[in-house]
Amino acid sequence: MSGSTLSPGKRTGLVLLAALLGFAVLGPWVVDADPARQVLAHSLAAPGAEYLLGTDHLGRSMLARMAHATRLSLLLAAVTVLSAAVPGTLLGVMAAWRGGWAESGLVLLADAVLALPSLLLVLLLVAFAPGDFLPLYLGLALVGWVEYFRVSRALTRGILAKPHVEAARLLGFGRGYVLRRLILPELLPALSTLATFGLGGAVLAISTLSFVGLGIRPPVAELGSMTTELLPHAYEAPLTVLMPAALVLMAVLGCHLLVGRGAR
Amino acid sequence: MDTLAISGLRIEASGMPLVRGVDAVAGPGRPLTLLGETGSGKSLVLGAATGTLPPRLRVTGRVLLDGTDILAAPPRARRGLWGRRLAMLPQEPWLSLDPTMRALGQVAEVYRLIRGLPATKSEEEARGRLAELGLEGAAGLYPFQMSGGMAQRLALAILRASEAPVLFADEPTKGLDADRRDEAGARLRLEADRGRTVVCVTHDVAIARALRGTVAVMLDGEVVEQGPAEAVLDYPAHEYTRRLLDAEPERWPSLPGRAAPRGEVVVSGDGLHRAFGGRPVLRGVDLSVRRGEVVAITGPSGCGKTTLGDLLLGLLAPDAGTVRRLPGVESWRFGKLYQDPPSAFVPHQTMRQALEDLSKRHGVAWNVVAPLLQRLRLSTTLLDRVPAALSGGELQRFALVRVLMLDPVFLLADEPTSRLDPLTQQEVLLLLSELAGERGMGVLIVTHDLELASKLADRTIHLEAGRFASSDVSVSRGRHPTLAEPFGTLTRGQ
């Protein structure tokens, strides 16, 4: 797939994600306002010269808060996806390769995690683990590894059964070579698809949990918790509720459009 | 009635002509066989006639079905012809049958959906078609429970159900055992005798012979010779046709001109037993291969010949019996050639990467590689290609290069040419036989082609149902053609 032959859908996805990423990286740096600074006299100000996107009910700059929130969401989502993908993939390859009790045990564990409602796991962790970030991150990663495990195990089984793997072993190549040169490159397209979907999913999950008050709590700017905070003022200042929600939509839509229907 | 005429057919890809001016006619009882190798354009002609070419190819000329140009017809009108006027026997039909549907249902749905019969009547008719082809016992089987020959008969039953007068067949013998191939040819001829118009595309001369009718020999996108099968196949006028015919194993001169191999035994098996899932596949087989010796194992599908090879290489462990390999020789000097060359290479790796990795792994100097490539007549420009961009014959020769880089003492060749064109098959096998003598390497070739085995091997072992059935020693002392002139020195067999 070369850059010039991207379908319109993929191009749109790429633009959405690039815009979001730019906002997350540059936003907090360009917008020279403290997302936590309250100016109660300016609460729920309309977008204008002083506040480009207006203010919330406590008179905090929406632009600054959204930039920080986007950065937080994307960063946390990326870390979550990586923490799920890397162990999930390695365990999947290992299970396919070793077979026997190691594989049966891991498959059983994966099925058990799948059988458990993921929200329940996160709730449990939130109840026991301290802080805002850690339980959220742990919960999402502990649930997320399963799909990488299942996909990489299934694909690896197929690859290992192919004659070219047998041929490589007969030619004297070791396990490391087979893993590096034969298996991982063939897993990559499927894994990057999964990870892109996973990124969108993680952004949505983080904001959903924060929206119901289980994730990141105010005063930290987070897209979900911002929506919750501003919901009572939805009639006076509908934009303040819609804008954070629109950013979540952009992230999820961007990821899904980028992957598109063709998995590669 | 029901004649299919191709006239002035030309196919281009971005200005490059792939097929130039093909004219041919097929009629009821007068089949047409397009004979040629991979890349000769025969499949493109079939694609144009069936309307399955990718849109980027520009097709000009005419394909007339009873005088109506179906090439110019809109796709919708063409689709209407399928199953009613036109039908197709696909390549390797077991891949095209519905894997989730039993045999009876696949035939019955033609009656129900295309010919509009009620369900019970459809089943009754379908049973009739299956019985005609000796499949009455297979009505309840799924395609994956069938052998290749059965799957092909099921595909034929579906075609008969459609009663479409024009029948296209694409490489009908591909992937079938030798004895099944003759059957496939005879069945197609029977369809022609029943008054159907058969158009067959193949590289298999035997099929062309069995079908009779008209043969058109294709080379580089052109028909180089065309006429009645008897004339073209018995008195070929074109040089290429002659080479194609001479590449049939029964026409090969006897190869082993070598002295009887007296080298040390490189690998041997004694009393080998092996079962899969409780079903015994090998039941006590002894075999040894010496340096420089070419041994062939033949036998019907499922007789255990591939299993025997894998046991000798150590890819499988025997349930009973012992395998002895030449002591002090590294495991990688026992090599293997695969049946399907593309599958034996890493799909995303260029040949250069593959060979460089190998030379690094074993400390083989790169300057060993260049002469090998030359010896196997592989251009260095091919090095930067991935397997998908190489032909089967080129890949099989690259597979030989990578085995030879490690100075092998033994090579297992598992049906190494069953997926290659006849000319390529001849070339690869001649090379293999020469290299065995040159390099003092023992070669065990697994094949179901008796003719080929007797021409190529010093010794042929027949297996039947996992047991040693008989063995022959080739006594013929023909002239060994040299590689510089791989085909030129061959004389016509008749």
pLDDT in tens, B68-91: 888 888 888 888 888 888 888 888
| Average pLDDT along chain B, 494 residues, taken 10 residues at a time | 87 87 89 87 87 86 88 84 87 87 92 90 92 86 83 88 89 76 85 91 89 90 90 90 85 63 83 85 87 86 82 90 88 90 90 92 88 86 88 88 91 85 84 85 88 84 78 49 36 33
Residue intervals of chain B classified under CATH 3.40.50.300 are 4-250, 265-491
Q: What CATH number does domain B4-250 carry, 2.40.10.10, 3.40.50.970, 3.40.50.300, 3.20.20.210?
A: 3.40.50.300
| pLDDT of the residue at B492 | 32
CB atoms A166 and B336 under 8 Å: yes
A182 contacts in chain B (CB < 8 Å) = 346
Query: Tens digits of per-residue pLDDT, B440-476?
Result: 899 999 988 888 888 888 888 888 877 777 776 654 4
Tokens of B18: 């792939």
Indicate the pTM of the whole model. 0.73
Q: How far apart are CA B4 and CA B25, in angstroms?
A: 6
Residues of B with a Cβ under 8 Å from any A Cβ are: 313, 315, 330-332, 334-336, 338, 340, 343-349, 357-358, 361-362, 399, 402-403, 406
**CA distance readout (Å), B171 to A130, B152, B201, B207, B417:** 68, 12, 6, 9, 16
Q: What CATH number does domain B265-491 carry, 3.30.1600.10, 3.20.20.70, 3.40.50.300, 3.40.47.10?
A: 3.40.50.300
Dihedrals phi, psi of B283, to nearest 5 degrees: -130, 75
Q: Which of A167, A177, A182 is nearest residue B336 as measured by Cβ atoms?
A: A167
Residues 6 or more apart in contact with residue A197 via CB below 8 angstroms: A255, A256, A259
When scoring A166, A169, A171, A179 by the number of chain B Cβ atoms within 10 A, the one with the most, hence best to mutate, is A171
CB atoms B343 and A163 under 8 Å: yes
Helix (H/G/I), strand (E/B), else coil: B113: helix
B406 contacts in chain A (CB < 8 Å) = 171-172
| pLDDT of the residue at B481 | 37
Residue in chain A closest to B313 (alpha carbons) equals A170
Does pLDDT of A117 surpass 70? yes
Q: Which of A172, A181, A186 is nearest residue B332 as measured by Cβ atoms?
A: A172
CB atoms B336 and A186 under 8 Å: no
Edge-first strand order for the sheet with B467-473 is B334-337, B410-414, B442-446, B294-298, B459-464, B467-473
Question: Could you write out the three-class secondary structure of chain A?
Answer: CCHHHCCHHHHHHHHHHHHHHHHHHHHHHHCCCCCCCCCHHHCCCCCCCCCCCCECCCCCEHHHHHHHHHHHHHHHHHHHHHHHHHHHHHHHHHHHHHCHHHHHHHHHHHHHHHHCCHHHHHHHHHHHCCCCHHHHHHHHHHHHHHHHHHHHHHHHHHHHCCHHHHHHHHCCCCHHHHHHHHHHHHHHHHHHHHHHHHHHHHHHHHHHHHHCCCCCCCCCCCHHHHHHHHHHHCCCCHHHHHHHHHHHHHHHHHHHHHHCCCCC
Helix (H/G/I), strand (E/B), else coil: B128: helix
A167 contacts in chain B (CB < 8 Å) = 336, 338, 344-345, 399
Q: Which is more confidently placed, B446 or A57?
A: B446
Q: Which of B336, B343, B345 is nearest residue A170 as measured by Cβ atoms?
A: B336
Count, residues in chain B: 494
B362 contacts in chain A (CB < 8 Å) = 172
CB atoms A181 and B349 under 8 Å: yes
Dihedrals phi, psi of B277, to nearest 5 degrees: 55, 40
Most confident of the following: A154-158, A208-212, B53-57, B391-395 = A154-158
A185 contacts in chain B (CB < 8 Å) = 348
| pLDDT of the residue at B465 | 75
CB atoms A186 and B334 under 8 Å: no
pLDDT band at A82; cut points 50, 70, 90: very high
Dihedrals phi, psi of B465, to nearest 5 degrees: 45, 45
Tell me how many degrees the CA angle A102-A107-A113 measures, rounded to the nearest 5.
130
Q: How far apart are CA B59 and CA B53, in angstroms?
A: 9
CB atoms A172 and B406 under 8 Å: yes
| pLDDT of the residue at B254 | 65
Residue B65 · residue B81 · CB < 8 Å: yes
Closest-CA distance of chain A to residue B334, Å: 8
| pLDDT of the residue at B494 | 32
Residues of A with a Cβ under 8 Å from any B Cβ are: 162-164, 166-168, 170-173, 177, 181-182, 185-186
pLDDT band at A261; cut points 50, 70, 90: low
When scoring B325, B346, B395, B400 by the number of chain A Cβ atoms within 10 A, the one with the most, hence best to mutate, is B346
CB atoms B361 and A172 under 8 Å: yes
| Amino acid at position A135, single letter | P
Query: Tens digits of per-residue pLDDT, A166-190?
Result: 999 999 999 999 999 999 999 999 9
Mean predicted confidence (pLDDT) in A120-139: 78
CB atoms B348 and A163 under 8 Å: no
| Amino acid at position A262, single letter | G
A-B CB pairs within 8 A amount to 50
Cβ-based neighbour number of residue A22 at 10 Å: 12
Q: Which is more confidently placed, A149 or B278?
A: A149
| pLDDT of the residue at B439 | 85
Biggest distance spanned by C-alpha atoms of chain B: 72
